[in-house]
Amino acid sequence: TRIDYCWGGLVDMTQDRLPRAGERDGVFYSMGYSGHGTQMATYMGSIMAEVLDGRADLNPLADRGEWKAVPGYFGTPWFLPFVGAYYKYQDLVR
C-alpha cells in the first residue's frame, strides 16, 4: 500500500498524559497534548478564543494542578534513539 501523506512533528507530553490550558503572567497557553494534538489543539483553539473573550469557565483543562517532570527526562531526549530502534524492530518482525 502506498502512503500519500504522513504527519510528523514534536510531541509534548506531561507526566500524567493530560493536557494543560490556562493563563500565567498574562500569557495564555494550551499544550501537553501527549500525541493527541491534532484533535485537541483544534478543539482547544476555539475554547481558548472563548477564554480570551472572558469566558474562562469554558476551559475544561484549567486548574489541573502541579506539572511534574517525566521520570528520566533531564532536558535532552537521550532515550529517543532507543525508542525509534524499538519501533523499527517491531516493524520488521510484524
Give per-residue pLDDT as tens, 23-65: 989 999 998 888 777 788 889 999 999 999 999 999 998 877 7
Scored b (16 or more CB within 10 A) or e, 41-71 reads: eeebeebbeebeeeeeeebebeeeeeeeeee
Q: What's the pLDDT score for residue 25?
A: 92
**Domain edges within the chain:** 7-66
The more confidently predicted of residues 66 and 20 is 20
- Please give the mean pLDDT across all residues of the chain: 85
Tell me which residue has cell 473573550: 53
Residue type, 82: F
The more confidently predicted of residues 76 and 91 is 91
Share of the chain above pLDDT 90, in %: 33
